[in-house]
Chains A and B, each alone.
Chain A
């Protein structure tokens, strides 16, 4: 279901749980699907002994992808026109992530209504792991 500009207000927010207790296997799944086989994400030996991190960690793009589900579930299929993020902290196996889109502005662009959202994904400690924005076409 698409959102309606008439019903949306600045400050409206939608929150969804993205993942609970992120598994290493899901990170492997993402590596295989995306083609990003950086061992930092799947190879515990390399990551701890060579790269110097406490464990493997998720691809930023996995968190962006999971955050994208929160957005598309909210704004509807094929409605996004822009989506961008900064990766502000790493996501580790075992993390639980929640993501929120907050309406920042509703604007007209080429005769269409566009909703602008702030996007933020946090881990179980409230640390922001992804921070960004999205824009989506909404109904009148």
Chain B
């Protein structure tokens, strides 16, 4: 995910923590957070993923005036590309974070993504799988590396059969 400017804000942290069911006051209550080891509000460990909000080209967000592949009058707003089992342009296979420090409200991050390896594998549950890796470096307002994230996406030949 690429974002030229990803401002980390307290209200966004609050909403993100709520959405993952985390009521730890270190994510929402300034006074309570000050008394913790963190010394103030920090962001939950997977928060950096919400840099998607600040990636102008992020393709899984509807954009004004552009077709969207979700349903409206019809089950999809665009013609489906063949070979993209899963329909949403792939699934998330892996995610890894390395924390050099934890994010705080007031941080202004830059996210730069570079492509990594790609590989293929046959799977009984979804046919041919094509994996592709990307590495995103999050740097703060001082240019210091704060989080290194590595994601792996997978395109499946057909929808994945679920176990049980």
Knowing A32-B15, A40-B88, the reply to whether A125 touches B20 (Cβ < 8 A) is: no
Contact of B75 among A32, A50, A54 (CB under 8 A): A50
Q: How far does the alpha carbon of A129 sit from the alpha carbon of B60 in the complex, in Å?
A: 23
Which range holds the interface residue count of chain A? 35 or more
Q: Which residues of A contact B128 (CB under 8 A)?
A: none
Tell me if A's interface is mostly helix, strand, loop or mixed: mixed
Q: How far does the alpha carbon of A60 sit from the alpha carbon of B71 in the complex, in Å?
A: 22
* Stretch binding the partner chain, chosen from A4-12, A62-70, A106-114: A62-70
Tell me if B's interface is mostly helix, strand, loop or mixed: loop
- Determine whether the beta carbon of A43 is less than 8 Å from that of B24: no
- Determine whether the beta carbon of A62 is less than 8 Å from that of B69: no
Q: How far does the alpha carbon of A2 sit from the alpha carbon of B160 in the complex, in Å?
A: 40
- Determine whether the beta carbon of B44 is less than 8 Å from that of A26: no
Contact of A38 among B42, B51, B88 (CB under 8 A): B88
* Stretch binding the partner chain, chosen from B95-103, B110-118, B135-143: B95-103
Q: Which of A7-37 contact B (CB under 8 A)?
A: 18-19, 26, 29-30, 32-37
- Determine whether the beta carbon of A60 is less than 8 Å from that of B91: yes
- Determine whether the beta carbon of B75 is less than 8 Å from that of A36: no
Distance between B159 CB and nearest chain A CB, rounded to angstroms: 4
Count contacts between A and B, CB distance < 8 Å: 171
Q: How far does the alpha carbon of A46 sit from the alpha carbon of B77 in the complex, in Å?
A: 9
**B83 in the interface, Cβ–Cβ < 8 Å?**
no
Binding site for A on B (CB under 8 A): 12, 15-16, 18-22, 24, 26, 36-38, 42, 44-46, 49-53, 58, 60-62, 69-71, 75-76, 80, 85-89, 91-99, 102, 150, 158-160, 162-164
Binding site for B on A (CB under 8 A): 2, 18-19, 26, 29-30, 32-40, 43, 45-47, 49-54, 59-62, 64-66, 68-69, 71-73, 76-87, 89-90, 92, 123, 125, 127
Would you mind naming 28 contact pairs between A and B with Cβ atoms under 8 Å apart?
Answer: A26-B21, A32-B15, A34-B52, A36-B61, A39-B88, A46-B70, A52-B158, A53-B160, A54-B162, A60-B91, A64-B46, A65-B20, A66-B20, A68-B44, A68-B45, A72-B22, A72-B44, A77-B37, A77-B42, A78-B42, A78-B102, A79-B37, A82-B98, A83-B96, A84-B97, A85-B94, A87-B91, A123-B164
